Structure formats: C-alpha cells, structure tokens
C-alpha cells in the first residue's frame, strides 16, 4: 500500500479535511500544462428528471472516471484515487454554484427560513477496486433579509460553492440548525471517507 493517495479535487476544504485525518495526499487536477483539456462543466450538467441523490453520485463517479484516466495518461505512481462532489437540494431542486451575484442572491432567498439537504458523495478507486459512499445532512437557515443576503454575497464567499454558501465561513452566523455531518457539508464527510479508506486496507 502506498503511503499517499491522489485527491482529484480543487477544493482546499477537502484537502484540509484529509489532513485532519492524517492522510498524505497529492492533488490530481485537470487541465495541467500540456495535458488533454477536460470539460468539468459537462460532467456537472443535471440530467432531466434526475434526483439530487442520483445526480451527486453520478457526477462523483464521472469525476473518478476522469481522474483515473488522468492518472493513467500521465503515467503516475500507483496510489488510491479519491474524489467527491457536494450538492445542495431544496426539495427536488438542485442548487449548484452561482454564476453571478444575482443568481447567488436568488439561491439564498430560496434557502432563507427553510431546511435543505446537503448531499456529498465520495468515490475511491484502488487498482480494480471501486467504492462509493453518500452523506446526507440537513441545514436550516434563519429567515434572512434582502440586506443580509446582499451583504453576504458582497463578501464573495458564495462563489464556487454549491447552494451559494460555505458552512465554515460567514454563513455560519445565519445557520440555525444542522443535522448530519458537518465535514460532509464542508465537502468531504470524514467518517465515510475514513470507512472507505479502511476498506482498502488503509491504516488510519
């Protein structure tokens, strides 16, 4: 067993959570200089009628496929490959990453005073062995005024985050209740990730 894994994610929070577990890792990111271009947005497109649970697990599996192909193409040393995807769902509606301030404000107005789900899927490949887990948590926002939403969006924090917020940042002051995995809401459920690593023989 190698003493490190590949993390196929650009999220600094996922890297931080792996460090918390004491798992040494190297980033395996797309679109390196001279590499074959990859279209991440195409992977994240929602299919018609797709449920949030089906969506997040399908996207995570596709991300792992792309990462394993990237690993093989680059001729890298053998090691487990880990990837993850987080989706925010209000009922059956999937709230992705906002494209601009107006879209971020629209998403946050929908979440205001409501309870929504945060679904994070994790996928791990080690040789021919592939494992996947799903973490589902519930988050309730307080009722937020337009001024509060505008101020939060102006901070820049909503961008690049599913549902237009980050639980570990300024949004924490607006969250009334969490049920589930805090690390899963951040983007990498530590318990489920540890379980997958143990299944491939990783010593934590």
Residues 166-185: pLDDT tens digits? Answer: 999 999 999 999 999 999 99
Residue 171 inside a domain? The answer is yes
CATH no. for residue 120? 3.90.950.10
Q: Which residues pair with 89 in a beta bridge?
A: 94, 117
Structural domain of 11? 5-199
Residue 80 inside a domain? The answer is yes
In tens, the pLDDT along 143-167 reads 999 999 999 999 999 999 999 999 9
This prediction has a pTM of 0.93
pLDDT of residue 176: 97
Q: Which residues pair with 123 in a beta bridge?
A: 83, 132
pLDDT of residue 141: 98
| Whether the predicted pLDDT of 32 surpasses 80 | no
Active site residue 39: no
| Whether the predicted pLDDT of 123 surpasses 90 | yes
What is the total count of domains within the chain?
A: 1
Residue 109 inside a domain? The answer is yes
pLDDT of residue 40: 74
C-alpha span between 192 and 204 (Å, rounded): 13
pLDDT of residue 44: 86
In tens, the pLDDT along 3-27 reads 999 999 999 999 999 999 999 999 9
| Whether the predicted pLDDT of 114 surpasses 90 | yes
Residue 204 inside a domain? The answer is no
DSSP 171: G
**189 and 133 in contact (C-beta within 8 Å)?**
yes
Residue 142 inside a domain? The answer is yes
Residue 118 inside a domain? The answer is yes
If you search the block for the tokens 């973490």, which residue do you land on?
Answer: 135
In tens, the pLDDT along 62-111 reads 999 999 999 999 999 999 999 999 999 999 999 999 999 999 999 999 99
Residue 104 inside a domain? The answer is yes
For residue 94, give the nearest of 133, 58, 65, 146 by alpha carbon. Answer: 58
C-alpha span between 144 and 53 (Å, rounded): 27
pLDDT of residue 38: 82
Q: Label residue 134 by pLDDT band (50, 70, 90).
A: very high
C-alpha span between 183 and 198 (Å, rounded): 18
Given 3, 35, 39, 85, the catalytic residue: 85
């Amino acid at each position: 067993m190698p003493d490190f894994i590949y993390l196929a994610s650009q999220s600094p929070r996922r890297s931080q959570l792996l460090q918390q577990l004491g798992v040494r890792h190297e980033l395996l990111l797309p679109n390196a200089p001279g590499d074959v271009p990859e279209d991440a947005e195409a992977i994240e497109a929602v299919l018609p009628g797709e449920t949030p649970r089906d969506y997040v697990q399908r996207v995570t599996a596709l991300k792992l496929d792309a990462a394993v192909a990237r690993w093989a193409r680059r001729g890298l040393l053998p090691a487990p490959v880990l990837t993850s995807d987080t989706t925010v769902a209000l009922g059956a509606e999937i709230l992705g990453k906002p494209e601009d301030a107006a879209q971020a404000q629209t998403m946050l107005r929908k979440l205001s005073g409501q309870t929504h789900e945060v679904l994070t899927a994790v996928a791990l490949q080690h040789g021919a062995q592939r494992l996947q887990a799903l973490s589902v948590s519930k988050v309730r926002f307080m009722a937020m005024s337009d001024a509060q939403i505008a101020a939060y969006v102006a901070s820049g924090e909503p961008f690049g985050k599913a549902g237009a917020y980050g639980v570990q940042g300024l949004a924490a002051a607006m969250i009334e209740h969490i049920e589930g995995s805090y690390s899963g809401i951040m983007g990498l459920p530590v318990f489920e990730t540890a379980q997958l690593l143990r299944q491939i023989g990783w010593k934590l």
